[in-house]
Amino acid sequence: MGKRSKFDPYKDLLTVWCLQGVPVRVMADKLMDKTGEIFDETAIHAYIYKHQLRNRPWKDVYEARNQCKECEYCHSYINTNNAEGRICSFYWRTIQNNVRHSPVWCEK
């Protein structure tokens, strides 16, 4: 018998969450609340794509949510190369310039 993943018992639940568009970060929190274990977001991410639970490429997983510039935590900056960028002051993460809506890791 092959090696089983710790996510195998939750495969149906992960599939439903993927179809609902739940971000991976929220999936990790929900699994932690359900089981009491801490799950790594990248491990969940790898499991989802290995088992093709989500049939879209990762770069296209931007839900139609509020624009980042409408969020009170999103701020523009200019770096040392005079290039503009955006940063989320709630998560302290930079937002890539090609992101049109809220990033996947954002709960907005």
**pLDDT tens string 14-46:** 888 887 778 888 888 999 998 888 888 888 888
**pLDDT tens string 47-93:** 988 888 775 444 444 443 445 556 787 878 887 888 887 888 887 88
Q: How many CB atoms lie within 10 A of CB 7?
A: 20
- The dihedrals phi and psi of 10, each to the nearest 5 degrees, come to -110, 15
The full set of domain ranges for the chain reads: 8-60, 66-96
Cα-based torsion angle of the residue sequence 65, 32, 46, 22 in order, rounded to the nearest 10 degrees: -20
**pLDDT tens string 86-106:** 888 887 888 777 666 667 667
Half-sphere exposure of 76 (CA within 13 A, CB side): 7
Task: State if pTM tops 0.75.
Answer: no
Give 19's contacts (C-beta < 8 A, 6+ positions apart). none
